[in-house]
């Protein structure tokens, strides 16, 4: 979703996010790890979303609470320890969102990370 300023012009930062999403999506889908496919990215207002599919799992196969907590810890650690992500997004006030769905497209977890997570 692109945000528009009062004059009708696209906000420069949001335009850059949209351009980045287009470029990244040209390289997708690809496996992020053994069981997770990065299927697409999206530029939303002040948020960059990484959409993942877990093709080997159905939501009923998982303990959603345990999965969500384990992924939250991993995602926060990854985002906060990756200089490129911090510089491109967090340092500019842009939130990063990691969304996971199962092989049927059912939501498993959504993890939001902003700069405050890294300052803890």
Condensed to tens digits (0 to 9), the pLDDT of residues 9-25 reads 445 588 999 999 999 99
Dist. CA 72–CA 62, nearest whole Å: 15
State the DSSP H helix or E strand holding residue 49, giving kind and residue range, or none if neither.
strand 47-54
Mean pLDDT computed over 81-102 = 96
Instruction: Give me the DSSP letters along 80-103.
Output: HH-HHHHHHTGGGT-EEEEEEEET
The CATH number linked to 68 is 3.30.300.250
Domain containing 65: what range? 32-118
Task: Name the pTM for this structure.
Answer: 0.87
Q: Position of tokens 């092989």?
A: 103
- Token readout for 120 is 């803890």
Mean pLDDT computed over 44-61 = 96
Which pLDDT value is given to residue 13?
84
Do 45 and 84 contact (CB within 8 A), yes or no?
no
Query: What rounded mean pLDDT belongs to the chain?
Result: 90
**105 in a domain, yes or no?**
yes
**10 in a domain, yes or no?**
no
């Amino acid at each position: 979703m692109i945000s528009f300023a009062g004059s009708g012009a696209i906000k420069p930062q949001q335009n850059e996010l949209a351009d980045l999403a287009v470029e990244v999506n040209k390289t997708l889908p690809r496996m992020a790890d053994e069981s997770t496919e990065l299927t697409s990215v999206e530029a939303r207002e002040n948020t960059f979303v990484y959409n993942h599919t877990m093709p080997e799992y159905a939501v009923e196969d998982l303990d959603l609470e345990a999965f969500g907590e384990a992924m939250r810890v991993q995602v926060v650690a990854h985002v906060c320890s990756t200089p490129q992500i911090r510089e491109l997004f967090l340092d500019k006030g842009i939130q990063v969102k990691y969304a996971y769905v199962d092989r049927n497209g059912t939501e498993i977890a959504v993890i939001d990370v902003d700069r405050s997570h890294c300052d803890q």
